[in-house]
């Protein structure tokens, strides 16, 4: 039953590349472009995210984030990726596989963000499409889930373009920007995925 076996260690560096994008785990040297893009995009992002900690954009906060990311990947709980445009190395956003469950479930949840200057240009759709083969391949997931606030039409479009199926509505599902928000639930099964 290899399907249900836990990985003996985190997979080697997962760095999906294609369609002019590179996805890779955040590194210490990413602090400045990450902090600048997040700060520049603060008003654009906060309606769709949990409340940012007061030290979120500090170097110390970023180091804590990197430590947690490394622990989560080693424990096979979560895999964060930053999204870079290959032509110029610009950081355009991030995507994370979180809440990885093994055993009889073999599932995880994707969440993502795009910096405001790069929104509406198809980067997130391309990044998610680029990541899916890794999630169903190297990470051996059976199911990938996502959730978004119903009024977030851009996120709904990304998920639908990538082949996710709308599965329902979860009432007051996540605390976003300080308010418990309803979320549309989406899912994709391994057999639904078209390479």
Our count of domains for the chain comes to 1
Q: Which residue has the higher pLDDT, 2 or 164?
A: 164
What's the domain range around 51? 16-143
Tokens (6 digits) for 78 = 């979560």
Any domain includes 62: yes
Tell me if 107 sits within 8 A of 143, measured CB to CB.
yes
Q: Give percent above pLDDT 90 in the chain.
A: 91
pLDDT tens digits, one per residue of 123-140: 999 999 999 999 999 999
Any domain includes 174: no
Query: Whole-number mean pLDDT of the chain?
Result: 93
The CATH number assigned to the domain holding 124 equals: 3.40.630.30
Cα torsion at 38, 138, 72, 148 (round to 10°)? 50
């Amino acid at each position: 039953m290899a399907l249900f076996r836990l990985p003996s260690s985190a997979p080697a560096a997962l760095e999906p590349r294609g369609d002019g994008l590179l996805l890779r785990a955040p590194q210490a040297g990413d602090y400045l472009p990450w902090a600048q893009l997040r700060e520049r995009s603060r008003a654009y992002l906060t309606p769709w995210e949990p409340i940012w900690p007061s030290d979120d954009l500090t170097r110390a906060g970023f180091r804590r984030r990197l430590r947690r990311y490394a622990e989560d990947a080693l424990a096979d709980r979560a895999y964060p990726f930053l999204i870079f445009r290959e032509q110029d190395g610009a950081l355009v956003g991030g995507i994370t596989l979180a809440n990885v469950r093994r055993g009889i479930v073999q599932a995880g949840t994707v969440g993502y963000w795009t910096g405001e200057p790069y929104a509406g240009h198809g980067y997130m759709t391309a990044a998610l499409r680029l990541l899916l083969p890794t999630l169903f391949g190297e990470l051996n997931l059976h199911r990938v889930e996502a959730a978004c606030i119903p009024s977030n039409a851009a996120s709904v479009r990304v998920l639908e373009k990538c082949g996710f199926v709308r599965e329902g509505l979860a009432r007051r599902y996540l605390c976003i920007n300080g308010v418990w928000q309803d979320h549309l639930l989406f899912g994709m099964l391994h057999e639904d995925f078209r390479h």
